């Protein structure tokens, strides 16, 4: 099974993924950003797009890697990644599901104020790239394709993990 943890930058995806990994034996945290870093490092600047997710190769690499893990790895694959474009969602998650793989998708919802506080705690100010993405993320993630929301403003990471474990049937 794949558990995809989505949300705006600062929503707590990585912290939740790491806590879920600690809780679930035989699990692996897969970071799709690594494919983006590879693309950035491997293309001349004039071929790079402003967001590595816009590269079809990014979506194909991540689909291929997740497909391989789901077919070959007996454990749980945990994917913390912001994904707000419904077409990209379909190219990766929809395609995996169409191929018969189980993908549980959860969106961590957080208020703008709390996102800014969390970003500031990690050193990202109000003019940082993640902070400038808040509106785009909140708007994109409001699409029904991203449902199975977990509101995290007032709950701890452990409580978020408990909800994911319960909803995904991992307990």
Q: What is the mean pLDDT of residues 64-85?
A: 97
- In the predicted structure, residue 171 carries a pLDDT above the cut 90: no
Domain housing 89: 2-168
Domain CATH for 56 = 3.40.50.300
The predicted model scores a pTM of 0.95
- In the predicted structure, residue 53 carries a pLDDT above the cut 90: yes
Q: How many domains does the chain have?
A: 1
Torsion of CA 55, 52, 142, 21, to 10 degrees: 110
Q: What is the pLDDT of residues 111-149, one digit of tens each?
A: 999 999 999 999 999 999 899 999 999 999 999 999 999
Report the candidate in 2, 6, 8 with the shortest Cα–Cα distance to residue 30.
Answer: 2
Q: What is the mean pLDDT of residues 47-54?
A: 94
């Amino acid at each position: 099974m794949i558990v995809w943890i989505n949300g705006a930058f600062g929503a707590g995806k990585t912290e939740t993924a790491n806590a879920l990994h600690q809780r679930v034996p035989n699990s692996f945290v897969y970071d799709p950003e690594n494919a983006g870093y590879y693309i950035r490092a491997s293309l001349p600047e004039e071929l790079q797009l402003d967001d590595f997710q816009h590269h079809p190769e990014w979506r194909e690499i991540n689909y291929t890697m997740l497909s391989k893990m789901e077919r070959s790895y007996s454990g749980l694959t945990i994917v913390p990644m912001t994904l707000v474009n419904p077409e990209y969602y379909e190219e990766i998650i929809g395609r995996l599901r169409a191929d018969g793989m189980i993908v549980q998708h959860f969106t961590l919802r957080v208020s703008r104020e709390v996102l800014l506080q969390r970003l500031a705690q990690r050193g990202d100010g109000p003019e940082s790239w993640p902070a400038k993405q808040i509106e785009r993320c909140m708007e994109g993630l409001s699409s029904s394709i991203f449902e199975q929301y977990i509101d995290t403003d007032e709950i701890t990471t452990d409580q978020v993990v408990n909800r994911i474990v319960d909803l995904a049937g991992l307990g």
